[in-house]
Chain A
Amino acid sequence: MESFEVTKKDHDDIVVLYIKGYLDAHTAPVLENQLQSLIEEQRYKIVVNFKDLAYISSAGLGVFMGFIENIREHQGDIKLTNMNPKIYRVFDLLGFPTIYDILEDEQQAIVKFAR
């Protein structure tokens, strides 16, 4: 059975979420709940590392759309990193690179938040 997991790591006030597996309409609520918890904890500097993500559909992209406005209103951001070309293509086809900060690796995102 294909699965989806989110794990979390703290870098001071920045949270890095590692997403792994298959992110579709079935598993998107897992990521949605995780982001919702962060908002409730008023954690608004979020990096999502896609290194181990094998698949994404628009349901997964929709999760980010659902939170980005609120997060930016609180001077935060969701920065996306370490996408493989197959995953990046989906973001690119939908024009997401104009809305989201998509970076090569996690460290770049952390440095940008720290500036």
Chain B
Amino acid sequence: MSTDKITYQLKIPSQTDNLELIRLFVSAVAAKVGFGPDDISKIELAVDEACANVIKHAYSKNLKQLIELAIEIDYKKISIIITDHGKGFDIKKLPHGDVKEYLAEMRVGGLGIYLMRALMDEVEFDSQPGVQTQVKMSKYLVKADQVELVQE
């Protein structure tokens, strides 16, 4: 199998009716890499959540702005990098801790962030307000513990 990294890109207007196209794009690439239906549904939901946040918060529903998606694939993982040039946010203020405590306060806004972290193997945020914000999410084709099992 090739070890080269391949990148697929999509630039798409920041509109909620494009979430479907984004999901189809991400799912198709994930299937091509070899992920099964269960992982594909996790990846498409995580990406939907990130893009919905961009549409609603970063671009405040300004339909003329663009969401940039880059999907990098190599032999072991898929990484989706979502970039926007919206207003950004303070990473330290992202919701964290136990989701049940968060829900008990009847808060809604940060649920997507919890889902992204739960669905993907790695999620990283980088925000430079006024410049750009990036979310990078990765999922491994074979998880580290499975690799150990294979090696044994």
Contacts and interface: CB of A to CB of B under 8 A. Distances in A.
Interface of A: 1-2, 22, 24-26, 55, 57-59, 61-62, 65-66, 68-69, 86, 90, 93-96, 98-99
A58 B51 CA distance: 12
Interface string B25-39: 000000000000000
A24, A61, A66, A90 — most chain B CB neighbours (10 Å): A24
Nearest to A66: B108
Contacts, number: 64
Nearest to B102: A95
Prevailing SS type, chain B contact patch: helix
Interface of B: 16-17, 19-20, 23, 41, 45, 48-49, 52, 55-56, 99-100, 103, 106, 108-109, 111-112, 114-115, 118-119
B20 A94 contact: no
B52 A25 contact: yes
B119 A95 contact: no
A67 B16 CA distance: 22
Contacts of B119: 93
Contacts of A96: 103
26 contacts: A2-B20, A25-B16, A25-B19, A25-B52, A26-B16, A26-B19, A57-B19, A57-B45, A57-B52, A58-B52, A58-B112, A58-B115, A59-B112, A62-B108, A62-B109, A65-B106, A68-B106, A90-B45, A90-B115, A93-B114, A94-B99, A94-B111, A95-B100, A96-B103, A98-B100, A98-B103
